[in-house]
Amino acid sequence: MKIRLSDFNENWAQMFQDESQFLKTIFGNEIIKFEHFGSTSVKGLKAKPVIDMMCIVNDIEKIDSFNNKMHSLGYDVAGEWGIPGRRLFRKGGENRTHHIHFYQQNNPHIDRHIIFRDYLRSHPQEAEKYSNFKEQLAQKFDDTREYSQAKNTFVKEMEELALIWYKKRQ
């Protein structure tokens, strides 16, 4: 899939809210909490215009029973997609609009995503550095897979800084 990198869009927060409300009508009480994370959740950060949202649930296994319903509503059902304990649904086909990540409460990936988001929100200079790096990669790579792989080391290093920052705040 071709890289689509956009300037920050104020509408992304509303897109998250709208999708949260819709998903609540499908999953009901299975969902404990929704979180908007990823680049679309950080003001000023360039991002692929795909809303990353997290649905924290009591029992991840119960989410599998919704696969047919989600597929019938136009979502791509991707299963764990490389992260044990996650269930991923993608909305929008080739012009994807949402990635919906389900995690069971207490999954360590929840904290990793939220800490990284909060670090970028609290450190605009780091968000700008990340944004510039993403822009360089988008000029270098056409495909999202290559782009994402090229980002990995940079993101992992920044996640480590975020974790240090978080621990100091405790």
Distance CA 91, CA 97 (A): 6
Distance CA 166, CA 96 (A): 32
**Could you tell me the two tokens for 82?**
């490389």
How many CB atoms within 10 Å of residue 57? 21
What is the residue range of 86's domain?
A: 11-169
pLDDT digits (tens, 9 = 90+) for 64-85: 999 999 999 999 999 999 999 9
Residue 71: inside a domain = yes
Residue 6: inside a domain = no
Mean pLDDT of all residues in 34-43: 97
Residue 2: inside a domain = no
- DSSP letters, 7-72, are ---THHHHHHHHHHHHHHHHHGGGEEEEEEESGGGSTT--B-S-EEEEEEES-HHHHGGGHHHHHH
Q: How many domains does the chain have?
A: 1
Distance CA 37, CA 142 (A): 24
Of the CA atoms within 13 Å of residue 153, those in its CB half-sphere come to: 3
The CATH number given to whatever domain includes residue 92 is 3.30.460.10
pLDDT digits (tens, 9 = 90+) for 93-143: 888 999 999 999 999 999 999 999 999 999 999 999 999 999 999 899 888
Residue 1: inside a domain = no
What residues contact 66, with CB distance under 8 A and at least 6 apart? 26, 27
Residue 4: inside a domain = no
pLDDT for 14 equals 98
pTM over 0.85: yes
Distances (CA, A) of 2 to 28, 146, 148: 34, 10, 12
pLDDT for 16 equals 98
Distance CA 48, CA 29 (A): 30
**Could you tell me the two tokens for 44?**
């000023």
